[in-house]
Amino acid sequence: MRDITTKILLGDSKEVLKTLDDNSIDLIVTSPPYADRRKNTYGGIAPEKYVEWFLPISEQLFRVLKLTGTFILNIKEKADNGERNTYVLELILALKKQGWLWTEEFIWHKRNCYPGKWPNRFRDAWERMLQFNKTRDFNMYQETVMVPIGDWANGRLKNLSETDKIRDNSKSGSGFGKNISNWLRRSMVYPTNVLQFATVCNNKNHSAAFPEELPEWFIKLFTQANDWVLDPFLGSGTTSEVAQRMGRNSIGIEIMPEYVEMAKAKIVQKEPSLFTHNKIAV
Amino acid sequence: MRDITTKILLGDSKEVLKTLDDNSIDLIVTSPPYADRRKNTYGGIAPEKYVEWFLPISEQLFRVLKLTGTFILNIKEKADNGERNTYVLELILALKKQGWLWTEEFIWHKRNCYPGKWPNRFRDAWERMLQFNKTRDFNMYQETVMVPIGDWANGRLKNLSETDKIRDNSKSGSGFGKNISNWLRRSMVYPTNVLQFATVCNNKNHSAAFPEELPEWFIKLFTQANDWVLDPFLGSGTTSEVAQRMGRNSIGIEIMPEYVEMAKAKIVQKEPSLFTHNKIAV
DNA sequence: GTTCCGCATGAATCGATAG
DNA sequence: ACTATCGATTCATGCGGAA
């Protein structure tokens, strides 16, 4: 097995990205700073300037992504003056104009969302996970994210094994050659485009809470071992940490020095296991 | 208690709506035909013409809605040539331009979505429930849709899987004794903006796109008894039926005569109960 | 009377085939 | 080349008949 490289780079993504090679990244997964009217929060970009701020960055992302690669953008517009702001919608349209295909919109359903009560709205329990691609022929490893079949099966499919085995064999024509995947399919099904992960607030310092399951799910789905993962807004380093643990090379970019330190601390050389050896370049 | 009026009108919404009074409707809840490339399907409007088709209708909707009223639009863009079409995003922007406030986007999470497998995407398990208003001061009766604590999914309690219950229990801290009776003793909490309803699939009757729970939830949330509910794309009549059952006056408009007949059949005079008397105007 | 099981059916999507 | 049609794929749910 080859070494895994985990790079953590300090600087402005717009500039640092220019140092990366063309068509070198398999998956970009990131949660950029959301637009915010309050200027003094981390990365506070005004909503009306968000698209113009993002486009030069996404232009570089387009350049460094492989043709078979995928770009996952986690974003959600806040309520602003009683309304949802439309800058995310405008960003999607602008990215399409830039050449991206808007392949899918996953929903991240946050089981335990932020508490609160307002007279005119309920708690916001979901965020957009927008999928963009350069071509229609991107890599997708669907079997890696299969989930147990729903509860209805417990009550209804207790004795399904014999009849279903027979039916499946006869359908395929040849009576032999049933493989593991056929057996697996009895208990596992493909997921949908609604993901349910709990938010994890293990890190109060960082403004964007990214539960590990989220990048992990997309890394499983869109990359294989030794592929390259990029997070241009690394924050406290969740994406890098997960990528390293999963045996993917990764590059994380972060503009705030204190976050870079935090991320590096997570990526310290782990005890080499029997089959992997982690190399760290920071 | 006053009589409940249930009007079902045959015709093109764009024209029929002109016969309604200004500022007379408390809630518009509808599921218009989605854009579709296939021309000969019911209501097939090409995606690129969708906004221009919808705006004259929404102009009338704006006129007839009370200042305190709400407009709920159920819509979802299909995958088209490997991409999600952007006409819904463009519609939101156009409605804002028309004077609507885009107050909220609820997610309808369909637990039983359409099956299927494709190399580049998973099953689509959600639809948009877009909320628009004329002003920031609209009526909202949040207490009417409260759910038992722990039912974070907003759905019926039976939707909770066993694992979810267990996980939720363990998360709450104490090790033992967390059973149903404890749940029931707890107070009620407000739901979130993610709704979980199963789609209905009758093998006998004609299929309804809309499960009853969906209009019911919004009618509870945004109207009181004797208020007026409008569905400009009534279809087989689910909205009218639910509104009548809940003691709301309603107007449904539908262009296809066979659907109008179906809707009328659902609205036949019910046996008057002790406290209500239904009047039907068709 | 419960519980269990078969079956039909969904606002789906893609790729191949046909006009 | 571009569009219409068709077959294959797949899973949660309600209904109805059977055990």
| CA torsion angle B161 B163 B166 B167 (round to 10) | -110
The pLDDT > 70 percentage for chain B reads 75
Asked if residue B173 keeps its beta carbon closer than 7 A to nucleic acid strand C, the reply is: no
**Percentage, residues of chain A above pLDDT 70:** 77
Instruction: State pLDDT tens for residues B223-245.
Output: 999 999 999 999 989 999 999 99
A250 forms beta bridges with A6, A229
Q: pLDDT: is A14 or A280 the higher one?
A: A14
Query: Which string of DSSP letters, residue by residue, matches A55-104?
Result: HHHHHHHHHHEEEEEEEEEEE-PPEETTEE--HHHHHHHHHHHTT-EEEE
For B219, the 3-state DSSP assignment is helix
Highest mean pLDDT out of B163-177, B197-211, B254-268? B254-268
Average pLDDT over residues A17-23: 98
Q: For chain A, what is the mean pLDDT?
A: 85
Task: Indicate the pLDDT class of residue B201, thresholds 50, 70 and 90.
Answer: low
Q: Quickly state the pLDDT bin for A153 (edges 50, 70, 90).
A: confident
- The pLDDT, as a whole number, for residue A150 is 82
Nearest C-alpha neighbor of B119 from the set A184, A134, A143, A65:
A143
Q: What are phi and psi of B72, to 5 degrees?
A: -110, 125
SS3 call for A253: strand
Give the model confidence (pLDDT) of A172-181 as tens digits. Answer: 333 333 445 5
**Interface probe, candidates B48, B72, B84, chain A, greatest A C-beta count within 10 A:** B84
User: What's the average model confidence in pLDDT over A30-53?
Assistant: 82
- Given a cut of 90, whether residue A61 has pLDDT beyond it is yes
Winning range, highest mean pLDDT, from A67-81, A110-124, A195-209 = A67-81
Taking the C-alpha atoms of residue B47 and residue B59, their distance in angstroms, rounded to an integer, is 19
Structure tokens belonging to residue A138: 């991107």
Query: Beta carbon of A166 within 7 Å of strand C?
Result: no
Note the pLDDT of residue A176: 36
Is residue B148 very low, low, confident or very high in pLDDT (cuts 50, 70, 90)? confident
- The partner residue sitting opposite A84, judged by closest CB among B102, B122, B162, is B102
Positions on chain C within 7 A of a protein C-beta: 4-15
> Could you read off the pLDDT of A224-282 as tens digits, one per residue?
999 999 999 999 999 999 999 999 999 999 999 999 999 999 987 654 444 444 555 55
Residue A93: count of CB within 10 angstroms of its CB = 17
Is it the case that residue A97 has pLDDT exceeding 70?
A: yes
Domain ranges of chain B: 4-146+190-281, 154-189
Would you say A231 and A29 are in contact if contact means Cβ atoms under 8 Å apart? yes
Helix (H, G, I), strand (E, B) or coil at A71: strand
DSSP assigned state of B81: T
- The whole-angstrom distance between B264's CA and the closest CA on chain A is 35
Q: Which of A101-110, A134-143, B29-38, B122-131 has the lowest mean pLDDT?
A: B29-38
The arithmetic mean of pLDDT across residues A94-105, rounded, is 98
For residues B120 and A151, the model is more confident at B120
The whole-number average pLDDT for the span B238-262 is 95
Of B117, B125, B136, nearest to A193 by CB-CB distance is B125
Inter-chain CB proximity A121 and B103 less than 8 Å:
yes
Strand-strand pairing, B4-10 and B278-281? parallel
Residue B163 has pLDDT above 70, yes or no: no
**pLDDT value at residue B50:** 95
Average pLDDT over every residue of A3-11: 96
Whether pLDDT at B209 is above 50: yes
Q: Encode pLDDT of B51-88 as tens digits.
A: 999 999 999 999 999 999 999 999 999 999 999 999 99
Facing residue for B83 by CB, picked from A81, A103, A142: A103
- Tell me which CATH code domain A4-146+190-281 carries: 3.40.50.150
∠ Cα B11 B14 B18 (to 5°) = 95
In this predicted structure, what is the pLDDT of residue A277? 47
Confidence of residue A198 (pLDDT cuts 50, 70, 90): confident
**Which are the contacts of B162, defined by CB distance < 8 A and separation ≥ 6?**
A151
Convert B61-84 to b/e letters by CB count within 10 Å (16 or more is b): bbbbbbebbbbbbbbbbeeeebbb
